[in-house]
Amino acid sequence: MKDARKDLHREIRTLLEDEYGLRPSVSRAAKIGSGLRRGRDVIIENGVELGDGVQLGHRVSLRNCRVGDGVRIEDDCIIGYANLTGGFSHRFEERHVIVPTHIGAGTLVRSGAVIYQSVTVGENCWINHRVVLREHTRIGDHSCIGTMSDSEGYNSIGSHVLIHSQVFLCSRLTIEDYVFVAPHTSFTDGNPMNFAREVSSPEAGPVIRFGTQIGTNAVILPRVTVGCEALIGASAVVTKDVPPLSLVTGLPGKVVGRVPEHLRMPEALRRHYYGGRADPEGI
């Protein structure tokens, strides 16, 4: 009797799935840890792995991803989104490497965020409302990406980084640990600008070194390196490399002074990053 009922269930399931295309919204092939809490209309596809104590809001869609313990993903987020258009990815050798997106333990993804496949977000991060992280964006631990910021992918953002709202993070950008970026800042990687023309060098994104602070509405041009603990003033356009600890303002950005001691990183952290010294090389 029990077997007959099981067979009937299997038949009904096959009919619904194969004949009518009604796949279950939570795949039976997904690995789900203990204590999952989820809202309405959540989709969890094949191959998704969830740690323990994960919380999912309404209408969350999880595709090619692994989600760590205690992660909270709010309403209307898509994680593991597949790139349909290709965008600029023909420039990059990793373009064919597709791996599951990884969301580290304790991270909060706020409502409306879209995180593509092949993205790594570290532990205890905050990915804010309507952020877009495209493929091969890598983010360390304890970092925050502000509301409506956009990462074009193929870039690297360190740990303890605070990116404020509506920041544009171009490809091939490197941001080291403890960097602060104020709202509306743009990092740029393309000269010439239009990718349909001759493409720029794949190494063209800026490098922002440890402990730098960037004021609101700044523009950082391709290939520029901003040295450790520099301070870029509001609306500066940085066209050339910036020495460590420099205060830069204006268009084009000019070094107008040295960052005062009280605006620097705590000494213990400096010594950690500068190999025991209190100041970066060359100071």
Ligand X SMILES: CC(C)(COP(=O)(O)OP(=O)(O)OC[C@H]1O[C@@H](n2cnc3c(N)ncnc32)[C@H](O)[C@@H]1OP(=O)(O)O)[C@@H](O)C(=O)NCCC(=O)NCCS
Asked if 252 touches ligand X (CB under 6 A), the answer is no
Q: CA 193, CA 52: separation in Å to the nearest integer?
A: 45
Q: Which of 192, 250, 252, 266 binds ligand X (CB under 6 A)?
A: 250
Please state the closest distance from residue 238 (CB atom) to ligand X, in A.
Answer: 12
Q: Which of 68, 70, 104, 215 binds ligand X (CB under 6 A)?
A: 215
Q: Is 22 exposed, middle or buried (0-12, 13-18, 19+ CB in 10 A)?
A: exposed
Instruction: Judge whether 233 and 215 are in contact, CB under 8 Å.
Output: yes
Please state the closest distance from residue 220 (CB atom) to ligand X, in A.
Answer: 14
Which of 128, 122, 127 minimizes the C-alpha distance to 140?
122
**Composition of the chain by helix, strand, coil, percent to 5:** 10, 30, 60
Asked if 253 touches ligand X (CB under 6 A), the answer is no
Q: Six-digit token pair at 117?
A: 């496949």
Asked if 233 touches ligand X (CB under 6 A), the answer is yes
Question: 120-121 and 137-139 as β-strands: parallel, antiparallel, unpaired?
Answer: parallel
The 3-state DSSP class for residue 2 equals helix
CB closer to ligand X, 175 vs 182? 182
Asked if 100 touches ligand X (CB under 6 A), the answer is no
Q: CA 251, CA 254: separation in Å to the nearest integer?
A: 8
Asked if 186 touches ligand X (CB under 6 A), the answer is no
Asked if 91 touches ligand X (CB under 6 A), the answer is no
Q: Which of 91, 110, 136, 164 binds ligand X (CB under 6 A)?
A: 164
Token pair 């309403």 is found at 75
Asked if 146 touches ligand X (CB under 6 A), the answer is no
Binding mask 38-77 for ligand X (x = CB under 6 A): ----------------------------------------
Asked if 184 touches ligand X (CB under 6 A), the answer is no
- Binding interface with ligand X (CB under 6 A): 164, 182-183, 215-216, 231, 233-235, 249-250
